[in-house]
Amino acid sequence: MTTARTELEGQVAAKGLALGTARVVYSTKIDVETEPLPASGVPNEVKRFEGALKTARTELAQLSGKVSGALARDLSEIIDAHALILDDPEFTDAVVALIRKDQLRATAALKRQRDLLAEAFDAIDDPYLRARRDDLDHVVSRVYAALARGGAEPERKPSAEGQILICDTVPPAELTQLAETGLRGLICTASSPYSHTAILARGLRLPFACGVKHALAVVHEGDTILLDADQGRIVVRPDNIDLSRFRTQQKEAEKLRKQRARVKVTDARTRDGVAIKLYVNAENADVIAAARRAGADGVGLFRTEFLFMKRRELPSEDEQFRAYRDGIVAMAGRPVTLRTLDLGADKAIGGPLDIGAEENPALGLRGIRYSLARREIFATQLRAMLRASAYGPMRILLPMVSSVEEVREARELIERCTDEVRRSRHPVADAIPLGAMIEVPAAALVSADISRHADFLAIGSNDLAQYVLAADRNNAAVSANYDPLHPAFLRLLYLVLDNARQAKRPISVCGEIAGDPRYTPLLIALGLTEFSMHPSALADVRDSIAVLSRKTLKNKAARLLHAPDRASLAEVVDAMAAG
């Protein structure tokens, strides 16, 4: 066994620092029963599978009663998502059909259906929704375990006091139990910053690095692990210099935490007094309320598609209205931007929104294209939004716009829906700004024209970068090609910002770069004054803004835009960050 110091890198999923001993959990090998199932055994095998489903449902129900406070709410939402999968006929009925039709044993049928659904999830373009594959795998693992136990009680998890867990992925509910027994950090070879596990880790304030590819090959049980989840950096068997540096980082982090706790949250301003608006990306009222308390200026992106995912029926107008209203009320007078359905064949897996398979969903019927093709669904959503507008400042944002015509068509439908809502005696705000998301190159190139028909713009930098660079940032084979510090992406970004400025239209960036302090100087240099990010990024971005001079940065914009390659661009950005 090696005792040499080793460094590993991964993605930041939940920030924080941790030092502990490794608890290594290798992937559980699922024993798939391959022997033929006689016809006479089919009824009992179906009964066995249904019994495992019942056991899995019972275990989920029991989990929700084991935690309290804000964490209970977070875990409840995750348990509900897992329960939906357990109740989804595309999952359960399909497994039963495979047992009956192909005479497969339960584990073989479960694996086959899991593989089919996993393939569909892998085709999803949106990284947040793609991460729902983790939920599928966690649910399938729970059912497998129930099948293997045959009704026996699950093993009790040992204490994790002082440990850092090293594994492929861990179900959120199990993570909660481990955290309660003293787990200090989490390192996964798979998973995603958008997974439910990552969301829960942030709620638990548990440092988490994911995508650490070789962790299971390098780390041994009991190894000392230094986890710097602020940087996605792991040191296995750290030396004295590492440990000294770690203690210094801990002291600085604690000092910063105490300073922030004492200081009243104020508006974000640059060193030379320029006001910067910091909005959040959210999908429910609880997240919005917490963001408001953290000083958010509003919601730059409310993801409405989560009301529609993995359901047997469409949410009614009243159900949507209540969700939008609660989000608007939670922001207490600050603007809330409701994004219309960003759904398509890549996200509507089964259920009433299913439109069939597409060879390339990222270039298919999604976003505003989908909404305009399914106008009855779109109109219901718009009426719910219009009714919610009476409860506070609200804007409507159209995703994946690629032409002026789409904005025109949507506005015409909004006007018709407004008349319908008012005739129904529901109050509607006098003015509701309509915006367009700029996340495909076509929209960026005609953003000057779109600005004449939209009241505001929002740049979806994640998708825009992927389309411009032809690189999926979740595909490890091309991860080096996905780089926001690419001259082509930066110049296109500036084109959109400048077109919005000339048209006197508000514009924000709501992708990952908005919440990453490394890019804050660059975005301010290009003229951005509105950022929208995950709520956990607010404090770091606000602190970054406070030490920057917009005037100084703007003087360096020309150097940014004329940089011929990524290396030159990185040098300019580093110089800007250094002041």
Tens of pLDDT, residues 474-490? 565 676 788 888 999 99
Q: Indicate the pLDDT class of residue 80, thresholds 50, 70 and 90.
A: confident
- For 117-156, letters b (16+ CB in 10 Å) and e give beebbebbbbbbbbbbbbbbbbbbbbbbbbbeeeeeeeee
Tell me the CA distances in angstroms from 254 to 247, 248, 542, one per residue in order: 11, 10, 18
Q: Say yes or no: 469 and 398 in one domain.
A: yes
Residue 346 pLDDT? 46
Task: Tell me the two tokens of residue 563.
Answer: 């940089």
Name which of 373, 292, 317, 361 is nearest 535 in CA terms.
Answer: 292
**Domain final residue pick, 244, 274, 297:** 244
Question: Per-residue pLDDT averaged across 440-466, rounded?
Answer: 96
CATH of the domain at 522: 3.20.20.60
Q: Say yes or no: 229 and 276 in one domain.
A: no
Q: Say yes or no: 282 and 237 in one domain.
A: no
Residue 64 pLDDT? 60
Is there a catalytic annotation at residue 82?
Answer: no
Name which of 488, 501, 548 is nearest 520 in CA terms.
Answer: 548
Residue 552 pLDDT? 92
Q: Indicate the pLDDT class of residue 82, thresholds 50, 70 and 90.
A: confident
Name which of 444, 455, 372 is nearest 410 in CA terms.
Answer: 372
Dist. CA 362–CA 550, nearest whole Å:
36
- Of 352 and 564, which is predicted with more confidence? 564
Residue 36 pLDDT? 80
Q: DSSP letter for 485, please.
A: -
Q: Say yes or no: 452 and 303 in one domain.
A: yes
- Determine, yes or no, domain membership for 81: no
Name which of 261, 323, 267, 341 is nearest 298 in CA terms.
Answer: 267
Residue 542 pLDDT? 93
Taking 80 as the threshold, does the pLDDT of residue 344 lie above it?
no
Taking 90 as the threshold, does the pLDDT of residue 227 lie above it?
yes
Q: Say yes or no: 227 and 290 in one domain.
A: no
- Determine, yes or no, domain membership for 114: no
| Three-point CA angle 182, 74, 11, nearest 5° | 65
Among 122-126, 156-160, 316-320, 549-553, whose mean pLDDT is lowest?
A: 122-126
Is there a catalytic annotation at residue 510?
Answer: yes
Among 22-31, 106-115, 238-247, whose mean pLDDT is lowest?
A: 22-31
3 state SS of 210: strand
Residue 67 pLDDT? 54
Q: Say yes or no: 329 and 448 in one domain.
A: yes
Q: Say yes or no: 366 and 228 in one domain.
A: no
Residue 399 pLDDT? 96
Task: Tell me the two tokens of residue 554.
Answer: 């703007």
- Of 158 and 224, which is predicted with more confidence? 224
- The domain of 239 spans 6-27+156-244
Question: Per-residue pLDDT averaged across 320-325, rounded?
Answer: 94
Quickly tell me which residue has 């597409």 as its tokens.
358
Task: Tell me the two tokens of residue 565.
Answer: 């390659």
- Determine, yes or no, domain membership for 557: yes
- Determine, yes or no, domain membership for 40: no
Q: Work out the mean pLDDT of the chain and round it to a whole number.
A: 86
CATH of the domain at 227: 3.50.30.10
Q: Say yes or no: 273 and 233 in one domain.
A: no
Name which of 471, 550, 561 is nearest 569 in CA terms.
Answer: 561
Q: Say yes or no: 286 and 199 in one domain.
A: no
Structure confidence by residue, pLDDT tens digits, 401-440: 999 999 999 999 999 999 999 999 999 999 999 999 999 9
Q: Say yes or no: 373 and 480 in one domain.
A: yes
Dist. CA 465–CA 446, nearest whole Å:
17
The active-site residue out of 138, 196, 486, 534 is 196
Residue 473 pLDDT? 64
- Determine, yes or no, domain membership for 534: yes
Residue 234 pLDDT? 95
- Determine, yes or no, domain membership for 483: yes
Dist. CA 30–CA 144, nearest whole Å:
8
Q: Say yes or no: 425 and 541 in one domain.
A: yes
Q: Say yes or no: 236 and 378 in one domain.
A: no
- Of 199 and 289, which is predicted with more confidence? 289
Residue 236 pLDDT? 94
Which run of H or E residues covers position 35? none
Percent of the chain whose predicted confidence (pLDDT) is above 70: 87
Taking 60 as the threshold, does the pLDDT of residue 397 lie above it?
yes
The active-site residue out of 167, 188, 417, 510 is 510
Structural domain count, the chain: 2
